[in-house]
Chain A
Amino acid sequence: MAQQKQAPRRSLGFYSADPSQHTFLEDTQGLATGALIAGLGFYFLNQVGLLTGGTAGVAFLLHYASGISFGLLFFIVNLPFYYLSFRRLGWAFSLKTFIAIALVSAVTEIEQQFLLIQYLHPGWAALLGGLLLGYGLLALYRHRASLGGVGILAIYIQDRFGVQAGLVQLAFDLCVMLCAFAVVSPVTVAWSLLGAVVLNVFLAINHRSDRYVVVR
């Protein structure tokens, strides 16, 4: 494994000479990396019937209730939020988020043809799935993209009705987890909570714009 590499050469035009900006190619690999890793995280959760929060949680609920594929549902559930996203967070963020969600949906669909998991312990699925989703989301956040709508909706509700965005998001995720009792076993809900904790602790520790200094 190549370690202790020299600092990358900047002369190829691939790397941004300015540390505070990503080039188009850097954003492309950031989105691809984040989507591939998050897609693998969703795949792990899906294998053992776990859920997560946000629009992905809604997609998982519908998937377990109806049997329609997760990737398709995840793509559809996120569609209404792009208008808000476009209005509030600009076209670059909305476009990158759309691409990330489309990639994640496609990856989780295609994966089952190339990557069959024979057995997977729910605890490890929660731990690894939470970590993979956290890492994928961190990459997307750092490249100014996301995986969907509830956060955007929460900010909108905060502005419009004065309800704190964090509380809106928490309430939404609690509703998803409550609904989860209807479609999966209580043990599965407990493992899902573990996965959600891993994901959010990982993001809370690592998503700091004063440390990863890219501004756009």
Chain B
Amino acid sequence: MTDVSEGKSPLGFWASAPDRHSAAEDAQGIAAGSMLAALGVTMLASAELLIGGTAGLGFLARYSTGLSFGLVFFTLNLPFYWLAYRRLGLAFTVKTFAAVALTSLLTELLPDFVGFGTLHPFAAALFGGLLIGTGMLALFRHRASLGGFGILALYLQDRFGWRAGLVQLALDLVVLALSFLLATPYVIVCSIVAAAMLNLTLAINHRTDRYIVR
């Protein structure tokens, strides 16, 4: 992964080829992405908002049973690594495992060091959605993810021919339907704002023709 043969980098830290990340660059990308995502999750959790995917199931477990988000999120993602390894390769799987583990750990640790006294649900949605979106953007650009349904959806498409987008939509709808049992309409509206911030950030910015690292 590291290519310093062209000698542009005296420290060997920066990859000299613009289309490759060095191991150190990947490490800081995953650390930065996980920290931003964990801060976003902490903000959403402080305002008791909801979200889709395996993180949504983590929130559901937290609000309904009091289990910790980090633990549930980490555990729920475990079954997907085998699929990820089979379909997306070792490097992606290891980096995704690191990102999910770090995000889970930080969401456990952060409340001890950052406490939000008053957090307006709308502000939480705006900042939380934006932070998770930018965190995931950093992870995607370093060829990692926050695990979960996306991998399963890809697998099901290959195995049974179900469209991955529809599978993911169905899974998210199930999570949201469950969430709506717990939430007030106001919380639901704010959660939709958070989801929109998150996904717009990704949709606009995740372009492999613009950030050209493969």
Residues of A at the B interface (CB closer than 8 Å) are: 1-8, 14-15, 19-20, 26, 29, 33, 36-37, 40, 111, 113-121, 123-124, 127-128, 131-132, 134-135, 139, 201-202, 205-206, 208, 210-214
A213 to B146, Cβ gap below 8 A?
A: no
A-B CB contacts (within 8 Å), total count: 146
B200 to A124, Cβ gap below 8 A?
A: no
Chain A residues lying within 8 Å of B52, measured Cβ to Cβ, are: 1-2
B114 to A120, Cβ gap below 8 A?
A: yes
Chain B residues lying within 8 Å of A213, measured Cβ to Cβ, are: 209-212
Given known A116-B119, A120-B114, contact A208–B18 (CB-CB < 8 A): yes
* Interface range for B: 35 or more
Complex Cα–Cα for A128 and B114 (A):
10
> Interface readout for B100-124 with A: 1 if CB under 8 Å, 0 if not?
0000000000100111111110111
The list of the 5 closest CB pairs from A to B, nearest first, reads: A3-B150, A4-B150, A118-B117, A1-B53, A114-B123
Closest chain B CB from A156 CB (angstroms) = 28
Minimal Cβ-Cβ distance residue in B for A113: B120
Is there a chain A Cβ closer than 8 Å to B198's Cβ? yes
Chain B residues lying within 8 Å of A121, measured Cβ to Cβ, are: 113-114
Minimal Cβ-Cβ distance residue in B for A208: B18
Beyond A3-B148, A8-B203, A115-B124, 18 additional contacts (C-beta under 8 Å) are A1-B51, A1-B198, A2-B198, A5-B206, A6-B165, A8-B204, A8-B206, A8-B207, A15-B204, A19-B207, A19-B209, A29-B204, A37-B131, A113-B120, A121-B113, A135-B36, A135-B134, A208-B18
Given known A1-B55, A26-B204, A33-B130, contact A115–B123 (CB-CB < 8 A): yes
Chain A residues lying within 8 Å of B198, measured Cβ to Cβ, are: 1-2
Chain B residues lying within 8 Å of A115, measured Cβ to Cβ, are: 116, 118-120, 123-124, 127
Residues of B at the A interface (CB closer than 8 Å) are: 13-14, 18-19, 25, 28-29, 32, 35-36, 39, 51-56, 110, 113-120, 122-124, 126-127, 130-132, 134, 136, 138, 145-151, 153-154, 164-165, 168, 172, 198-204, 206-213
Q: Is the interface of B mostly helix, strand, loop or mixed?
A: helix
Complex Cα–Cα for A6 and B204 (A):
12
| Most chain A Cβ neighbours within 10 Å, of B120, B200, B206, B207 | B207
B204 to A120, Cβ gap below 8 A?
A: no
Contact of B130 among A2, A36, A127, A206 (CB under 8 A): A36
Chain A residues lying within 8 Å of B114, measured Cβ to Cβ, are: 117, 119-121, 124, 128
Minimal Cβ-Cβ distance residue in A for B203: A8
